[in-house]
Every structure is written in structure tokens, then in C-alpha cells.
Amino acid sequence: MKVALVTGGSRGIGRAICLKLASMGYHVIINYVSNDAAAESTLKEIENAGGTGETMKFDVADQAKSLECITAWQDSHPGEYVELLVNNAGIRRDSLLLWLEKDEWYNVIGTNLNGFYNVTRPLLQPMVVKRHGRIINVASLSGLKGLPGQTNYSAAKGGLIAATRALAQEVAPRGITVNAVAPGFIETEMVEGLDEASLKKDIPAKRFGKPEEVASLVAFLSGDDASYITGQVISINGGLY
């Protein structure tokens, strides 16, 4: 059984990734933090299409709970391991730094960057032992260029990009690739409240991207055809830099 874990997998980009990976034959573990209905809906859609999966509820920002849930799954599935990890969970709390509250800083860093550590570390050793694994981190255009009003989000995603490049060098000899995808503006709940009409004027493609387009890029990076690609950050942004 090929197993994939997608954090923040119940909605938006994460949901599209879960559905795509399930269609490729992965047993998909759908991580989510609070929306039971959305997670069950994603799982049902996977099963209705003939795939398999399960839900796993925990907050990636909570190191102890992340470890508890992952360890429990590993203990109950001897001989199996998560060979594909997609670190997708993320939150935004936009504000100019001048008015950014402490919780808005630490919560964004906690989910978007600390979550990478909390989930990746316990899943890494089995990949090393098996000499095969794929880790794909969902970064952001904000982490590459920085966006005003997103100092916290830019810092977290920038840190995730740096971690991607460093970890890729650590584990490449063990047959594990580590890459990041950096979406621009994608049609999900994460862009709610933004001035879409104004932003589209600055995008050469003149539109927002679709979650399924990001999922297709993740699918390619998870496959054998991408086995010599590692430590890379691939933008999917309609030409916006």
C-alpha cells in the first residue's frame, strides 16, 4: 500500500491534492484541525471514486499531538510507512507589522513553519530506512518575494523554502527528494477578502489559479519521473513575480 499524508487536506489546495493522489493509487491520510464535515466530505469523494483513505485530526502546530497521532498510526500499521508527505497546512493573519499582534505572528509561524518540523521529523526515519520518500512543501509567492501586510506569512513561507533546500541535501543520499511548490493566487478560501479584480491586473495570465493545477504539480513531483529533482522551489503563479 502506497501511503500519503497531506496536512490541511480537507479543503482548498489540500483537498485537490488528496483527490489527485488517491486517483494515482495512494492511500491518503487526510490531516485536518477542526472541520470534521469537510474532512469526511473529502474522504467520501475519494472512496466514491474508488480510492482509499482515512482522516487524522490534529493541529500541526501542536508538537505533542502531532507526534502522538503519527506514532499511533505507525504502531497500528507495522510494515507500512508514509512514503509521501505533503506539508500543506497553512493559515494567514494579515496585517501591517506596525499593528501585528503577538498571537498573529506566533500562530502563523506555528502552523506554517513549526508544523513542517512537527510532522516531517517523525515520518522521516522510516523513509531513510526504506531508502525512498517524497516530501513536498506548499510554500507561497509570499515566501519568495514578500508581500506587504504579510510579514508573518512571508517569514514563515520563506523559512519553509530554506528548510526545503537544506533538508533536500541531508536526505538525497537515501533516495528521498524534498521540494516545494510556491503558488501565487489560487481560488481557495485563503484568498477571501483580497481584491481579486485588482490583483488579476498584475497577473500576466489574468486569472487566479485552480487548486487542481497545484495538485497536478505535486503529483508530478511525487512520481518516479521527478526522482532527480530535489531542493527545488517551483512557482505556479501565472507569471507573477
Tell me the β-bridge partners of 84. Answer: 4, 134
Helices (H) and strands (E) in the chain, counts: 9, 7
Alpha-carbon distance of 134 to 7, in angstroms, equals 14
Q: Which three cell numbers stand for residue 118?
A: 512537527
Element (H, E) at 6: strand 3-6
Handedness of CA 213, 15, 5, 208 (dihedral sign): positive
Tell me the catalytic residues. 153
Distances (CA, A) of 237 to 47, 108, 155, 158: 31, 22, 19, 16
- DSSP label at 26? P
**Residue linked to cell 509521501:** 84
| The three grid cell numbers given for residue 2, joined into one nine-digit string | 502506497
Q: How many C-beta atoms lie closer than 10 Å to residue 175's C-beta? A: 14
Q: Could you tell me if 153 and 92 are in contact, meaning their C-beta atoms sit under 8 angstroms apart?
A: yes
